[in-house]
């Protein structure tokens, strides 16, 4: 059963809502009306209830926007019970209602941004959608405008593992009130200028151990054969089984993008003087890290911030901060 | 400067430098790009035209013409294949984005403003596909339908091009006084001629002028037509129409596409159209409508797509296979199929005299004719268009391989008596011309690889040396080059059978020899 508020809006605009559904069925021949009905119940109804509580006078407009968007998302197979990734359903059901005051004033922008962001994050291998959702929910009471919602979403997407958003997210954070920016970074007691400077200088701030990335495709990983790595300014160009990737990694996560053989050929094979390999131990400045890899075939690649370690005996790439 | 110098000059274009590493721009705004269109801040920039072209393709293939025949296959790494049926034919699951020729080739025709012929049985979407192309050019469905020419046995030149105004005919003192009411379709950017093989021969000749020279003529009055893409349809292009299509008209067609059968598994799509009373051509999204200027820019961009030497060489090698007919000419230059055709010689008799060559291995034995200049140009244009459509700046061999059968479909005539078609495994190629042409290209590439011409091409080396120009080349060096050419001819002709590529190589060497000989004479006169 849907809420009385939603039922009343649907009943009052029945012809209009039916016409919109019929039009959507033309545009999306595969639109499953049963799935759409289920999404209205699970995804749209909580929104309508939240907006009705926050701004009853605007609930009609918000409902219409949500209804149209729901048709499009279900039509694309992105929402509803048969959605390939259920994260969008979760965002509509649990996260969007927390932005009810904003939804009431700018329903298309808010729902559109949340929906697109949910689809994007869910599609990035290695990203942590649940963390993004939790972060957004935590700062929701402080978000007062669509612009702030946009910037906060970007910052939290980076922090949830979308590593290649780092510079853009830091620029977006600068547009936020310092308190909100610090809240987005989970450091409410700090000073924003210092935090910002440290984040700019060190992509591995807050993660001294680095991370391990990749595994065998046969076990659901990324690489068909043990990868070979070369460094670029953006990250590392990886070659594995005649395929090439760009690996972008920092303290928040690691993401693979497609790359070309030409990029691999042109990537850097040099090594900073502070890095030295001694058997199965790698020395970075004064630090010595013993590797659990057979000595002899270990390969190193480094850019300004990160050391990548590979071996023909593993499908994983070890990423260590140089700082 | 004489306009001919343009073609005589050695290319001034630099060899393509190795591009610098791409500085990637990861945009945090991508987070909000998705199926939901947002306000101004969320909007993307204007799409490049190749993207717009792809959007148009996918819209048509997914929403308008139901053609689930992905016969233009691209692979990115290994693909899954299955052997099916008693004939063990291969079902391939391509590992990269692949396309339906029935949609893609007409779209490339639209982008390059060439001429496309649809062949296939009634009701397979030939006219609908052509109509969609007209809508993509910005005309309304009504305009396109009204401008479409329907071939019929009584079609006159006046029906096709226009009438003199009756009042002028009575009062005119000279031809200049007669005004012509030109048909509206002559001004369209997409021209459609339905069932062109039902047009009487005389009217076909008038159509030929419009197709070939882009103008119409009635009573000494000329109508200059704008650059346009042409779409012709024919239920049967093998002579089954009301009239035989004149050869020159058939030769003007750049690409031939076969409309394949409807797959009843997609009946639900038809049902939806019936129930909703929807016609796809009336619902073309404005986003994929192209202005005249956009098509101009696309055409220019397509011409700029590069064809690497390695790909061009393979095309040269392929095209070399078909013109040679050793017994047709007494003089070396006239040993061609065209010589035999012009003389109306008995082909069977001439072939019987041609012995000693491996008639299975010689690809030239499979065809009745060679490849014309017009066809080669169309081939290169479509290969470039395919590369452009795929977002590439250079043609790949696979681009050429994929468009080649559609361009040669009407141009390269198979010889059904060739031993190749007598082999049981090749029997299907008698009717599957596209499959045969693709097989022909594959066989040519296999031979190219066997000869290792990518790495060992002495004629290519001599040719490249000549292309550097003769300025400053000494007499001694000229003589050395002449000796090298003569030596190479001696080596290549020693005890060898004459095949098409060798014939063309020898003609090229003769040409180089002649140029150096003339140059040496000039040097000695100084």
- Written as six digits, the tokens of A243 are 């395929």
pLDDT at B12: 33
Report the b/e string of B224-248 with b at 16+ CB within 10 A. Answer: ebeebbbbbbbbebeeebebebbee
- Dihedral angle over CA of B312, B314, B317, B318, nearest 10: -110
What phi, psi does B523 have (nearest 5°)? -60, -45
d(CA B523, CA B500): 35
A293 to chain B, closest Cα gap in Å: 30
Q: Write out pLDDT tens, residues B385-404.
A: 999 999 888 999 999 999 99
pLDDT at B407: 95
pLDDT at B45: 45
- What are the start-end ranges of the H helices in B288-432? 292-304, 309-319, 337-343, 347-353, 373-389, 397-408, 419-422
Q: What is the pLDDT along chain A (323 residues), one digit of tens a residue?
A: 889 999 999 998 888 899 888 888 877 877 889 999 999 999 999 999 999 999 988 899 899 999 999 999 998 889 999 888 899 999 999 999 999 999 999 999 999 999 999 999 999 988 999 999 999 999 999 999 999 999 999 999 999 999 999 999 999 999 999 999 999 998 888 899 999 999 999 999 988 888 999 889 888 888 999 999 999 887 899 999 888 999 999 999 999 998 888 889 888 877 888 888 888 888 888 888 888 888 888 999 998 889 999 999 999 999 999 87
Contact A232 B21 (CB under 8 A): yes
A30 to chain B, closest Cα gap in Å: 9
Residues of A in contact with B40 (CB under 8 A): none
Q: At what angle do helices B101-112 and B397-408 cross, to 10 degrees?
A: 90
Note whether B61 and B107 are within 8 A (CB).
no
Instruction: Write the ipTM.
Output: 0.87
d(CA B382, CA B112): 8
Q: Note which residues in 12-31 of chain B have CB less than 8 A from chain A.
A: 18-24, 26-31
d(CA B101, CA B526): 59
Contact B28 A232 (CB under 8 A): no
pTM of the model: 0.64
Q: Write out pLDDT tens, residues A230-239.
A: 998 878 999 9
pLDDT at B238: 59
Contact A172 B37 (CB under 8 A): no
- Written as six digits, the tokens of A8 are 């009343």
Nearest to B30 by CA among A237, A15, A124: A124
Q: Note which residues in 30-69 of chain B have CB less than 8 A from chain A.
A: 30-39, 41-42
In chain A the beta strands, taken as DSSP E runs, fall at 211-213, 228-231, 236-240, 243-249, 254-258, 275-278, 281-284, 287-290, 299-302, 306-310, 317-321
What is the gyration radius of the CA atoms in chain B, in angstroms? 26
Interface mutation target, options A66, A92, A119, A149, chain B, most CBs of B under 10 Å: A119
Residues of B in contact with A157 (CB under 8 A): 28, 31
From its phi and psi, is residue B226 left (phi > 0), alpha (psi between -120 and 50) or beta? beta
Nearest to B254 by CA among B440, B413, B409: B409
- Written as six digits, the tokens of B403 are 């468009």
Contact A108 B278 (CB under 8 A): no
Checking A201-205 for CB contacts under 8 A at 24+ apart, the result is A202/A305, A202/A321, A202/A323, A203/A166, A203/A250, A203/A251, A203/A305, A203/A306, A203/A321, A204/A250, A204/A251, A204/A305, A204/A306, A204/A321, A204/A323, A205/A251
CB nearest B278 (choices: A26, A76, A246) = A26
A103 to chain B, closest Cα gap in Å: 14
- Written as six digits, the tokens of B60 are 């048509």
Contact A116 B27 (CB under 8 A): no
Q: Which residues of chain B have pLDDT under 50?
A: 1-21, 41-46
CB nearest B31 (choices: A76, A109, A120) = A120
Residues of A in contact with B41 (CB under 8 A): 150
What phi, psi does B500 have (nearest 5°)? -50, -55
pLDDT at B280: 79
Contact B32 A153 (CB under 8 A): yes
A294 to chain B, closest Cα gap in Å: 31
pLDDT at B13: 32
d(CA B45, CA A74): 26
d(CA A258, CA A245): 4
- Tell me, yes or no, if A188 comes closer than 8 A to chain B by beta carbon: no
pLDDT at B44: 42
Contact A116 B31 (CB under 8 A): yes
């Amino acid at each position: 059963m849907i809420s009385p508020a939603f039922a009343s809006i649907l009943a009052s605009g029945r012809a209009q809502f039916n016409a919109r559904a019929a039009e959507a069925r033309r545009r999306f021949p595969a639109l499953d009306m049963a799935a759409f009905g289920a999404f209205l119940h699970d995804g749209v109804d909580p929104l309508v209830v939240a907006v009705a509580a926050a701004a009853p006078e605007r609930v009609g407009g918000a409902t219409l926007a949500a209804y149209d968007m729901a048709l499009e998302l279900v039509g694309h197979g992105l929402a509803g019970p048969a959605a390939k990734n259920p994260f969008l359903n979760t965002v509509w059901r649990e996260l969007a209602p927390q932005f009810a005051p904003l939804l009431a004033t700018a329903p298309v922008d808010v729902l559109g941004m949340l929906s697109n962001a949910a689809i994007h994050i869910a599609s990035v291998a290695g990203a942590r959608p649940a963390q993004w959702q939790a972060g957004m929910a935590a700062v929701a009471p402080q978000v007062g405008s669509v612009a702030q919602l946009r910037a906060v979403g970007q910052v939290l997407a980076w922090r949830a593992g979308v590593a290649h958003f780092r510079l853009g997210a830091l620029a977006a954070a600068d547009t936020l009130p310092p308190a909100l920016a610090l809240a987005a970074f989970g450091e409410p007691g700090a000073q924003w200028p210092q935090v910002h400077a440290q984040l700019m200088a060190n992509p591995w701030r807050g993660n001294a151990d680095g991370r391990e990335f990749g595994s065998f495709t046969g076990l659901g990983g990324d690489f068909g054969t043990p990868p070979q790595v070369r460094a670029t300014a953006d990250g590392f160009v990886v070659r594995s089984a005649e395929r090439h990737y760009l690996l972008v990694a920092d303290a928040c996560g690691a993401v693979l993008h497609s790359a070309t053989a030409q990029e691999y050929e042109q990537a850097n094979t040099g090594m900073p003087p502070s890095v030295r390999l001694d058997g199965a131990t790698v020395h970075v400045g004064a630090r010595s890290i013993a590797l659990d890899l057979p000595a002899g075939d270990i390969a190193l690649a480094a850019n300004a911030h990160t050391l990548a370690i590979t071996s023909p005996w593993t499908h994983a790439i070890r990423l260590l901060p140089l700082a | 400067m004489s306009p001919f110098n343009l073609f005589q000059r050695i290319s001034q274009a630099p060899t393509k430098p190795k591009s610098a590493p791409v500085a990637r721009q990861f945009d945090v705004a991508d987070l909000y790009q998705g199926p939901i269109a947002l306000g101004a801040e969320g909007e993307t920039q204007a799409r490049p035209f190749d993207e717009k072209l792809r959007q148009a393709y996918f819209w048509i293939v997914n929403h308008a013409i139901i053609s689930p025949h992905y016969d233009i296959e691209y692979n990115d790494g290994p693909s899954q294949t299955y052997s099916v049926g008693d004939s063990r034919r291969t079902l391939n699951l391509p590992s990269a984005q692949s396309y339906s020729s029935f949609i893609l080739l007409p779209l490339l025709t639209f982008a390059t403003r060439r001429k496309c012929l649809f062949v296939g049985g009634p009701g397979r979407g030939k006219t609908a596909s052509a109509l969609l192309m007209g809508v993509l050019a910005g005309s309304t469905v009504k305009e396109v339908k009204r401008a479409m020419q329907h071939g019929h046995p009584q079609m006159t030149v006046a029906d096709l091009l226009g009438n003199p105004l009756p009042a002028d005919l009575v009062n005119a003192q000279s031809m200049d006084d007669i005004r012509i009411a030109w048909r509206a379709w002559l001004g369209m950017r997409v021209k459609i001629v339905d069932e062109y093989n039902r047009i009487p021969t005389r009217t076909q000749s008038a159509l030929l002028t419009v197709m070939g020279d882009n103008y119409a003529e009635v009573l000494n009055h000329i109508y200059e037509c704008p650059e346009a893409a042409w779409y012709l349809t024919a239920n049967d292009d093998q002579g089954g129409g009301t009239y035989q299509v004149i050869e020159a008209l058939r030769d003007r067609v750049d690409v031939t596409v076969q409309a394949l059968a409807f797959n009843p598994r997609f009946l639900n799509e038809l049902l939806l159209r019936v129930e909703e009373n929807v016609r796809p051509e009336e619902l073309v999204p404005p986003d994929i409508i192209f202005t005249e200027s956009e098509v101009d820019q696309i055409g220019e961009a397509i011409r700029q797509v590069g064809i690497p030497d390695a790909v061009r060489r393979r095309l040269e090698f392929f095209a070399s296979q078909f013109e040679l007919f050793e017994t047709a000419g007494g003089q070396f230059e006239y040993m061609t199929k065209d010589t035999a055709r012009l003389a109306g010689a008995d082909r069977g008799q001439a072939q019987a005299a041609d012995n000693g060559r491996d008639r299975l291995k010689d690809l030239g034995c499979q065809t009745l004719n060679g490849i014309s200049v017009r066809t080669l140009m169309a081939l290169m244009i479509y290969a470039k268009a395919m590369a452009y459509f795929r977002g590439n700046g250079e043609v790949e061999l696979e681009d050429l391989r994929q468009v080649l059968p559609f361009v040669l479909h009407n141009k390269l005539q198979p010889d059904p008596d060739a031993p190749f078609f007598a082999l049981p495994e090749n029997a299907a190629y008698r009717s599957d011309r596209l499959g045969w042409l693709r097989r022909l290209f594959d066989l040519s590439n296999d031979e190219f690889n066997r000869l290792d011409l990518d790495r060992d091409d002495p004629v290519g080396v001599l040719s490249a040396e000549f292309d550097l120009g003769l300025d400053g080349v000494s007499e001694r060096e000229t003589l050395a080059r002449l000796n090298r050419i003569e030596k190479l001819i001696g080596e290549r002709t020693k005890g060898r059978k004459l095949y098409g590529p060798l014939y063309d190589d020898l003609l090229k060497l003769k040409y180089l020899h002649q140029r150096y000989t003339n140059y040496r004479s000039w040097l000695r006169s100084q």
